[in-house]
Amino acid sequence: MKLIIHGGFFSESATNQETKKAKQDALGRIAEMAGQFLKGHTALETVVYAVSLLEDDELFNAGIGSQIQSDGKVRLSASLMEGKSQKFSGVINLENVKNPIQVAAKLLGTDDRVLSGEGAQIFARKQGFADFNPITPQRMKEYTLKLNQQERKGTVGCVALDADGNLAAATSTGGKGFEIPGRVSDSATVAGNYANIDAGISCTGVGEDIVSGALAAKIVTRVSDGFTLAAACEKSFAELQSIDGFAGVIGISAKGEMYHCDSHPYMVWASFDGNLQVFN
């Protein structure tokens, strides 16, 4: 049983040691809680649990504390994929919901498994998800001051391997901030979140770069084709470099390999396999 989580890229962590430590501490706490949860639950249940905890922590750009778009609204995207069943579900540009990953989990059992905008919100309300405003005072301050959000590329994610050898991946984001309403993130696509019976990957970074590189699906496919997880990641990132792509990934293979890599420093992540590790 293993899991790995990430909290996206945080440029401020490079200079603000207090912020950096707060995020590391939060990731460590959440990874340990999710690791204990995994002992009695499936990989699918665990990644939803872990990403929900990340969405509930305003240090991260997902759920509470998400970036505000150019029209003053927060729109959330999240997706979920189980390796064994090969089912993928997701929500795109969902408004006024606390935990988009939990809405994605509800969609996994439906015929129409990826919903966007108003349709996603109507579905969430029918499933009992209450109206919730995810804007925090800090995000409103950033929006009001029109900070350069291009330096705050953030997403959260989890990949887990359970006791039965099943893999699952989940990813959630609040976007990049000040984007055009309607912009689609990679996080609710197979470019940003993908799993099969051989590996699972969750991505963070610039969504357009990740989609251009079909990153998560490409890495997992290479593992299925015989690459080690590390080799699959390294080859895919070498290709991403040709477009100067900005991305980071976490992953686990069915063989138990755990790996992370990024094209720029300061992706914060943690893992739990009986022992807790927290890195940046």
Domain boundaries, the chain: 2-279
Q: Name every residue whose Cβ is closer than 8 Å to that of residue 167 and which is 6 or more positions away in sequence.
A: 43, 82, 83, 84, 159, 160, 161, 195, 196, 197, 198, 199, 200, 252, 254
Asked if the model's pLDDT at residue 185 lies above 60, the reply is yes
Task: Please state which of the ranges 78-82, 149-153, 179-183, 273-277 shows the lowest mean pLDDT.
Answer: 149-153
Query: How would you class 230 by CB atoms within 10 Å of its CB: exposed for 0-12, middle for 13-18, buried for 19 or more?
Result: middle
The C-alpha angle with vertex 214 and arms to 254 and 81, in degrees rounded to 5, equals 45
Give me the amino acid identity at 113: R
Which of these is catalytic: 110, 136, 155, 173? 155
Kindly state the average pLDDT of the residues 172-186. Answer: 88
Supply the pLDDT for residue 13. Answer: 45
Asked if the model's pLDDT at residue 251 lies above 70, the reply is yes
Kindly state the average pLDDT of the residues 6-25. Answer: 75
Whether 144 sits among the annotated catalytic residues: the reply is no
Residue 28, Cβ neighbours under 10 Å: how many?
17
Asked if the model's pLDDT at residue 72 lies above 80, the reply is yes
Q: pTM to 2 decimals? A: 0.91
Nearest one of 251, 247, 260 to 204, comparing CA atoms: 247
pLDDT tens digit sequence for 196-243 = 999 999 999 999 999 999 999 999 999 999 999 999 999 999 999 999
Question: Where are the extended beta strands (E) located within the chain?
Answer: 2-9, 76-82, 88-94, 114-116, 156-161, 167-173, 193-195, 199-205, 247-253, 258-262, 267-272, 276-279
Supply the pLDDT for residue 116. Answer: 97
Strands 76-82 and 88-94 turn out to be: antiparallel
> Class for domain 2-279, per CATH?
alpha beta
